[in-house]
Structure 1
Amino acid sequence: MPAMSEPTTMSVKGQVTIPRDIRERLGLQAGDKIAWTILSNGTVVVRPKTRRLSDLVGILNRPEQPGVSVDEMKPFAE
């Protein structure tokens, strides 16, 4: 069974603080976006949506092609 964090309280504006252990486990930082999904059984799934360019390094690498560094990709991200 997954570990549970301490409960948090929702503010009148609908804001909650994500517990530190959860933020660290998901790699969340200030300004990151989060996607919320409600499954048919009532389970709420929370996923980070912000990806940094460095998170994508190597995902399209093919053995027959030379790799591309993050610095070489930066002009395409601007």
Structure 2
Amino acid sequence: MATATVTSKGQVTIPAEVRASLGLSTGDRLEFVPLAEGKYLFIASTHTVSDLKGMVKKPSSPVSIEDMNAAIESSGAGNQF
């Protein structure tokens, strides 16, 4: 497990193996997303929205809003980590 230390100025050096895994380089930004009390997820903000194009394929048939809501409800969406 990679670890880091917070300096007196609140700075942290992200370990090289973590930077490499996330594809981070100088000037890249990180987003911190609160998950629960005392827990955060951090995400490398190195890509634009247009980079997401093509990641999700179109469904073979149209899906109704009702079907989407039912799928979300059945998967237990809203449960926190």
Aligned match for 2:42, one of 42, 46, 56: 46
Counterpart in the other structure of 1:11: 7
- How many residues are treated as equivalent by the alignment? 55
Amino acid aligned to 1:56: D
Task: Give distance in 2, aligned partners of 1:49 and 1:28.
Answer: 9
**Where does the alignment leave 5 or more consecutive residues of structure 2 unmatched?**
55-81
Q: Does 1:33 find its partner at 2:29?
A: yes
Gaps of 5+ in 1: 61-78
Determine helix, strand or coil for the equivalent of 1:22. helix
Cα deviation for residue 44 of structure 1 reads 1.6
Q: Over aligned residues, Cα RMSD in angstroms?
A: 2.6
Distance 2:33 2:7 in 1: 21
TM-score (normalised: structure 1): 0.57
The one of 15, 18, 23 aligned to 2:19: 23
- Give the fraction of aligned pairs with identical amino acids, expressed as a percent: 34
Could you say which structure has the greater relative contact order, defined with CA pairs below 8 angstroms and 6 or more residues apart? 2
TM-score (norm 2): 0.55
Runs of 4+ in 1 over 4 A off after TM superposition: none
SS where residue 24 of structure 1 aligns? helix
